[in-house]
Amino acid sequence: MSTYGIDLGTTYSCIARLDSNGNPEVIRNNEDNSNTLASVVFFENENNVIVGQVAKDNIETDGDRVVQFVKRWIGKTDARTYTFDDKTYTPTEISALILTRLKNIVESQGDTVDDVVITVPAYFGLEERSATKQAGELAGLNVLSLINEPTAAALSYCARQFQEDRTILVYDLGGGTFDVTIIKMSMTEEGGIQKIKVLATGGEDVLGGKDWDDKLYDFILRACCDENGLSPEDLDAETRQDIRSKVEEAKRKLSQKEKTKVRIDVNGARTEIVITRNDFERMTADLVGKTMNHVEGTLQKVPDIDIDTVLLVGGSTYMPMIKNAVEARFPGKVQQHDPDQAVAKGAAIYASMLGLTVENDTADTETSESESNLSDDKRAELAAKFTVEDQTPRSFGPGVVDTKGSKNKYILENFIKIGEKMPAIATKTYYPIEDNQERVRLRAFENRSMDDALIPCVNEEGEPQATDPAHMVKLLGELIVNLPPNTPKTTPIQVTFKVDASGVHVEAINTSTGDKFETFLRTASDIDIDKSAVHQLRISSD
């Protein structure tokens, strides 16, 4: 039985396992001659779907048959779908194609992929998580668990060196996203067990290596036009694809060399463009500044924090300008090892720890030593060293009416905040709005705010209302609580939210009758808001 860790990335994905010495190793993608797999899918025709570099090479010429950045849409309520040859794919199904390709890479090298851990961004909500898990299942994988990407990165770094308590800032600049995460790793007094806890997250959904590529693309395109006395409209699709396909390679070269040459066929005429690292750094300085602003913003979320170590994660941190900027801000604290593989390696470590637990639980099922890619001793050692504390990825709470002011206000009360240990449970008592209310419509919301109360995404009547986009408020669903005839408005209704890795459990108890109502919410789909019957709960009893 083989256990793998998978980094299902926005632009590149990666699969890893532990070798027989217990060290994480990435399975090489020989076909693309790379340690990673481009998360790009090309629907060439009905019978041929290509994943990886070849798909990426077709973006400019066959853009309408190529899907990329699908991770931005996975599990989103308003997710788009993709139709090719009369077949429609959801982002989850596209992700499953990428996972299947990773599985095939391993199989072509003679191993099977049974149990896996897949990584997700720390800020992914429940829907994105459950969709990611579903993508794994569609690809025929047994998903043991999901793990937050920065936590996985920290695991892979700390597999090298674990000693004392540490506060770590993970700076993850990938191809399409930038994530900052502050993590606390701690040792307990008894057995040296290490806990990993996420303290704060920040970053931007659309900031990554692609933005550096775009700047370089514009630069080369303009240079090609200047050289040949053309205007951009004169360049055909092939020339654009030629530039596009050379941009990323040129960028990678500039991570090692001071200057590089790019040769482009401009409408048949060969043109040579020289780019220096200085040029490149000048044209992208604002992007580096943006990432550093997010770092400061995230630090401000945890006042008085002292960062001990900064981990550079994500392929884009290979660019010297990134290391320089982060090093200038955190002198002597920056660490970087295989930044484009660290997440997959950490997931492989975690998968092996979980694999051990699974095997112990099913001791009577035969597991042959030779099939396992890691010795039991080594796994036991790893398992004893880490416990990964699962935390709530979002804040959760009910929508209720605040009757305290001069005018009633419908608000979202945050019961459970981001970063609480799961399962997280919170209870509060509310009251019906009026006497003889037939029922209560208890709405459950998810959001990214740490505020005690905020504006929900629908008002009392169920109509959408404007919220701060940064809070990403989402309606998860609702629970109908039926009340018996003649219920006075002073009847206490006890509302409980329980959040664990699989979803949100909402419960309401009419404390005067003992009647209990409950529901389990996992996704925000299919919510039917009935505007004709508005019945809410209010905060106070007077």
Using CB under 6 A as the criterion, which residues of the chain lie in contact with ligand ADP when the complex forms?
A: 9-12, 36, 39, 174-177, 208-210, 248, 251-252, 255, 314-316, 318-319, 340
The footprint of Mg ion on residues 184-213 (CB under 5 A) is none
Look at the block and give the residue holding tokens 């890619």: 373
CB 109 to ligand ADP: min, Å: 21
Tell me the chain's radius of gyration from C-alpha atoms.
26
340 binds, among Mg ion, ligand ADP, none (CB under 5 to 8 A by kind): ligand ADP
Distance CA 542, CA 533 (A): 23
CB 25 to ligand ADP: min, Å: 17
Alpha-carbon separation of residue 22 from 92, 156, 391 (angstroms)? 32, 12, 27
CB 189 to ligand ADP: min, Å: 36
Distance CA 542, CA 540 (A): 6
36 binds, among ligand ADP, Mg ion, none (CB under 5 to 8 A by kind): ligand ADP
Q: Please report whether residue 9 would count as binding Mg ion according to CB under 5 A.
A: yes
Contact call for residues 467 and 384 (beta carbons, < 8 A): no
Distance CA 526, CA 268 (A): 54
403 binds, among ligand ADP, Mg ion, none (CB under 5 to 8 A by kind): none
Q: Residue 54 has which token pair?
A: 């070849």
Distance CA 251, CA 213 (A): 7
Selection from 475, 367, 451 nearest residue 115 by Cα: 367
Q: Please report whether residue 136 would count as binding Mg ion according to CB under 5 A.
A: no
Distance CA 385, CA 187 (A): 9
* C-beta closer to Mg ion: residue 9 or 355: 9
456 binds, among ligand ADP, Mg ion, none (CB under 5 to 8 A by kind): none
Alpha-carbon separation of residue 321 from 12, 158, 284, 307 (angstroms)? 21, 25, 9, 21
Look at the block and give the residue holding tokens 């920290």: 154
CB 149 to Mg ion: min, Å: 6
203 binds, among ligand ADP, Mg ion, none (CB under 5 to 8 A by kind): none
Distance CA 122, CA 135 (A): 18
Q: Please report whether residue 346 would count as binding Mg ion according to CB under 5 A.
A: no
* C-beta closer to ligand ADP: residue 314 or 419: 314
CB 173 to ligand ADP: min, Å: 7
* C-beta closer to ligand ADP: residue 104 or 255: 255
* C-beta closer to ligand ADP: residue 194 or 316: 316
CB 293 to ligand ADP: min, Å: 20
* C-beta closer to Mg ion: residue 290 or 522: 290
Selection from 158, 115, 126, 127 nearest residue 24 by Cα: 158
* C-beta closer to ligand ADP: residue 153 or 455: 153
Binding mask 159-178 for Mg ion (x = CB under 5 A): ---------------x----
Q: End-to-end alpha-carbon separation of the chain, Å?
A: 62
* C-beta closer to ligand ADP: residue 2 or 336: 336
CB 311 to ligand ADP: min, Å: 13
CB 343 to Mg ion: min, Å: 6
What is the DSSP-derived secondary structure letter of residue 421? B
Contact call for residues 192 and 234 (beta carbons, < 8 A): no
The residues binding Mg ion (CB under 5 A) are 9, 174
